[in-house]
Amino acid sequence: MKIGVIGGGAAGFFAAIHASGPGREVTIFEKSPKLLSKVKVSGGGRCNVTHRPLEISKLVKNYPRGEKFLKKVFAHFKSEDTIEWFENRGVALKVEADGRIFPTTDDSQTIIDALMREAQKLKITILTSVGIKSIHPLEKGFKLETDKSEFKFDILIIASGGHPKTDGYQFLSNLKHTLSAPIPSLFTFNTPGEPLRELMGISMPDGLVKLEGTKLNYRGPILITHWGLSGPAVLKLSAFGAEWLYDHQYRAKAIINWNAEMGEMDYSDHLAKYSLNHPARKVKSHPLFGVPVRLWEHLIEISGIESPQTFNTLSKKQVNKLVQNLFCYILTVNGKTTFKEEFVTAGGITLNEVNPETMESIYYPNLFFAGEVLNIDGITGGFNFQAAWSTAFLAGKSTFKDAL
């Protein structure tokens, strides 16, 4: 039995490993000279393997695209299974406070080494710098035309990853499958011309960011950068708002509540009480609501509060303006920036053309898909890797069906 796997990334390796067995020849094709390159750079080079185990109903809520599909996939392989698989192969893992899981070495090479060792043990053939030009379904099996030579396989698993442009999927053009056009997901907001950028490096641990004119919002840490706005709240909002933002050419109004625990009345009440208790204190010198000094100075300045003013001298208009800037700070977004070296795309093979119980094509027996080539994407926190491990496990295991 000859099995071809297109893609030398996380999903490709995991699928190849689980498709291996006696009497099987498994070959991985990777178009670049590097293997597992996204694993290498993920999580700042630490590799965010997965997320702390969650009930499947909660786990799937972290996927802007693919929620219903993944509910069925995760029934076969979920976060607990990922943890067990790596730990059984000598990889010690740790859970961080936000639920992300990393190797205790804090080095993505640990994950790469585990996958490479397993592939070598199973005698999987790995071909690098071999790009796939086209796939030709045969009466039985598939013919692969590469930029080196032709190959024939009984079973084919496509785990080629996401691509920022449609032409990255050109090699699939001979297949009947429909492609959702790729658009970026997980990016930071550019805010050219906004004075807030001068406060780069300042962060708020628990803010709320909304997109004006939509129901889209996300709560979490916010980071001000020299480009504009970043941090988990913004990255996750960009994923859920990927299609809307794309349609609006990345021009939008972002509305920020700097402290998500506080509502508009909470800010007003707290300021009123503070003014009563500390009337003679200078507003500038006494930041409230966990706001860092530089951000507080910016907020009181744009609220029309003078440097020497004390709390008891604030006019009603000034208090209202300050509350508005704390609860409803409006920022003009114009453009985006890819998050670090990581790119995640929304788009790929349409999910209604793939069986979520097996990852098999509904058009071609013995053709399977895994990973980001599918129209699935998750927010930051290990969710994209979990989708890769789960779909790849299922694709690999499903090659052992009775019909073969």
pTM of the model: 0.89
CATH 2.60.40.10 for domain 2-184+341-398, yes or no, is no
% of residues, the chain, pLDDT over 70: 98
The one-letter amino acid code at 311 reads F
Q: Which of 74-78, 156-160, 343-347, 384-388 has the lowest mean pLDDT?
A: 343-347
DSSP 79: H
> What is the pLDDT at residue 143?
98
Task: Calculate Rg over the CA atoms of the chain.
Answer: 25
Q: What is the DSSP string of 85-106?
A: HHHTTT--EEE-TTSEEEETT-
Q: What is the DSSP string of 225-290?
A: -SSEEESHHHHHHHHHTHHHHHHTTTEEEEEEESSTT--HHHHHHHHHHHHHH-TTSBTTT---TT
The 10s digit of each residue's pLDDT in 59-70 is: 999 999 999 999
Whether the pLDDT of residue 343 is over 80: the answer is no
Q: Detail the DSSP E strand segments found in 138-202.
A: 142-146, 150-153, 155-158, 179-185, 187-190
Residue appearing with tokens 């807030």 = 196
| Torsion of the alpha carbons at 266, 271, 272 and 277, rounded to the nearest 10 | 130
Per-chain mean pLDDT for the chain: 96
Q: Distance (Å, rounded) from C-alpha 4 to C-alpha 89?
A: 24
The one-letter amino acid code at 354 reads V
Q: Distance (Å, rounded) from C-alpha 184 to C-alpha 245?
A: 10
> What is the pLDDT at residue 339?
60
> What is the pLDDT at residue 107?
98
The 10s digit of each residue's pLDDT in 296-339 is: 999 999 999 999 999 999 999 999 999 999 999 999 999 998 76
Whether the pLDDT of residue 96 is over 90: the answer is yes
Whole-angstrom CA distances from 353 to 176, 179, 338, 358, 363 are 9, 10, 30, 12, 8
% of residues, the chain, pLDDT over 90: 94
Q: Distance (Å, rounded) from C-alpha 130 to C-alpha 171?
A: 13
Whether the pLDDT of residue 36 is over 60: the answer is yes
Whether the pLDDT of residue 30 is over 90: the answer is yes
Whether the pLDDT of residue 404 is over 50: the answer is no
Q: Where in the chain is the domain with CATH 3.50.50.60?
A: 2-184+341-398
Q: β-strand 100-103 against 125-128: which pairing, if any? A: unpaired
Tokens matching residue 164: 């920022």
> What is the pLDDT at residue 164?
84
Label residue 403 by pLDDT band (50, 70, 90): very low
Tokens matching residue 248: 């609006």
Label residue 226 by pLDDT band (50, 70, 90): very high
Tokens matching residue 80: 């607990």
Average pLDDT over residues 187-202: 96
> What is the pLDDT at residue 402?
54
> What is the pLDDT at residue 289?
98
Inter-axis angle of helices 109-121 and 37-45, nearest 10: 150
> What is the pLDDT at residue 129?
98
> What is the pLDDT at residue 333?
98
The 10s digit of each residue's pLDDT in 150-178 is: 999 999 999 999 988 899 999 999 999 99
